[in-house]
């Protein structure tokens, strides 16, 4: 009897070991390094206590990065989750012929499987002021006064990057919602039809409440993703112009590898860890209360 109970643990053990060695120990090491001053190639570490953290809270660039990440999260919620849900409802409704549904689903979904670096490079070209497509289209339809140096202007750069992200991931979130909507039993809708509900009433009072759990999941994915963002910003502007598009991820990278301040970068890493942990914790709490 005893041997039967050991088996599962013995199987789990190697993976557990890998996770501890490659995830948990580095996180603890990161905490440790955040109390030092050092560079990636230095031979000595200098203990500085809480100086890195004190510096972070007085650092303008850190707050710029935090604001950018928050902006990213809010806009992603509105566009990816909000519009993703609307698109999903539209595609599952009677407005779209069943034959066309697969076609539209593929079109919306394909951007999310393209590598982020490729998308970033493509959009860099789209946003180029003189020969880019965006300014070109604006000129052709007579809106040339709206043309901008999208990535070269501190006021528009961050929004341009966020816009690119929405284009890429709306389809992915939409697919998740489509799966959730397809799980809603047909008889709920039939009952509503008998009561004489319109399409919009069905959407608001049936579909949206029924996909509440998926809404929570996608909200968490987008918000935590917004705080971990790196590649999009790094490839498109490396945090420029000035420091207007810095996000926590790129600021960490810059401190570590450009400013030769590994200790400071570790401190930023610790803060990212806390922010994403708190967000995950809140998610778990909300989803648990939702189950009651």
The Cα angle at residue 12 between residues 9 and 14, in degrees rounded to 5: 120
User: How many of the chain's residues bind other proteins (CB under 8 A)?
Assistant: 39
129 near other proteins (CB under 8 A): yes
Secondary structure of the chain: what % helix, strand, coil (to 5)?
75, 0, 25
How far apart are CB 37 and other proteins at their closest, in Å?
A: 7
Contacts 24+ apart (CB under 8 A), 192-200: 199/93, 199/94
Q: What number of CA atoms fall less than 13 Å from residue 240's CA on the CB side?
A: 9
Contact 71, 162 (CB under 8 A): yes
Residue 71: exposure state from Cβ atoms within 10 A (0-12, 13-18, ≥19): middle
63 near other proteins (CB under 8 A): no
Q: Which helix (H) or strand (E) holds 74?
A: helix 60-76
How far apart are CB 54 and other proteins at their closest, in Å?
A: 12
Query: Could you tell me which stretch among 69-77, 83-91, 143-151, 284-292 binds other proteins (CB under 8 A)?
Result: 143-151
261 near other proteins (CB under 8 A): yes
The Cα angle at residue 119 between residues 76 and 137, in degrees rounded to 5: 85
Q: Which is nearer to other proteins, 70 or 243 (CB)?
A: 243
Q: Which is nearer to other proteins, 209 or 242 (CB)?
A: 242
Judged by CB under 8 A, the residue of 153, 159, 283, 287 near other proteins is 153
36 near other proteins (CB under 8 A): no
Q: Which is nearer to other proteins, 90 or 143 (CB)?
A: 143
* Cα(171)–Cα(177) distance, integer angstroms: 10
Q: Which is nearer to other proteins, 57 or 95 (CB)?
A: 57
241 near other proteins (CB under 8 A): yes
* Cα(268)–Cα(34) distance, integer angstroms: 8
Judged by CB under 8 A, the residue of 10, 140, 141, 194 near other proteins is 10
Positions touching other proteins (CB under 8 A) are 3-4, 6-7, 10-11, 13-14, 17-18, 37, 39-43, 127-130, 149-154, 237-243, 254, 257-261
């Amino acid at each position: 009897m005893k041997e039967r109970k050991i088996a599962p643990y013995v199987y789990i053990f190697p993976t557990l070991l890998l996770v501890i060695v490659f995830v948990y120990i580095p996180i603890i090491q990161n905490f440790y390094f955040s109390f030092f001053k050092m560079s990636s190639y230095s031979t000595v570490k200098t203990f500085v206590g809480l100086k890195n953290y004190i510096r972070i809270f007085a650092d303008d660039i850190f707050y710029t990065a935090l604001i950018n990440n928050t902006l990213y999260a809010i806009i992603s919620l509105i566009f990816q989750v909000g519009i993703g849900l609307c698109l999903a409802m539209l595609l599952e409704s009677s407005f779209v012929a069943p034959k066309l549904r697969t076609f539209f689903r593929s079109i919306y979904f394909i951007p999310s499987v393209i590598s982020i670096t490729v998308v970033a490079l493509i959009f860099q070209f789209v946003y180029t002021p003189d020969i880019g497509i965006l300014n070109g289209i604006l000129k052709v339809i007579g809106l040339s006064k709206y043309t901008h140096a999208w990535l070269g202007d501190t006021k528009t750069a961050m929004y341009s990057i966020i816009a690119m992200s929405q284009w890429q991931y709306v389809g992915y979130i939409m697919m998740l919602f489509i799966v959730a909507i397809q799980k809603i039993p047909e008889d709920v809708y039939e009952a509503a039809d008998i009561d004489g509900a319109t399409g919009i009433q069905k959407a608001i009072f049936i579909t949206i409440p029924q996909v509440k759990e998926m809404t929570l999941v996608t909200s968490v994915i987008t918000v935590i993703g917004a705080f971990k963002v790196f590649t999009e910003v790094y490839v498109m502007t490396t945090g420029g112009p000035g420091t207007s598009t810095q996000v926590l991820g790129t600021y960490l990278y810059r401190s570590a590898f450009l400013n030769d301040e590994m200790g400071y970068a570790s401190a930023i890493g610790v803060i990212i860890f806390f922010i994403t942990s708190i967000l995950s914790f809140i998610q778990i709490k909300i989803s648990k209360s939702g189950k009651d």
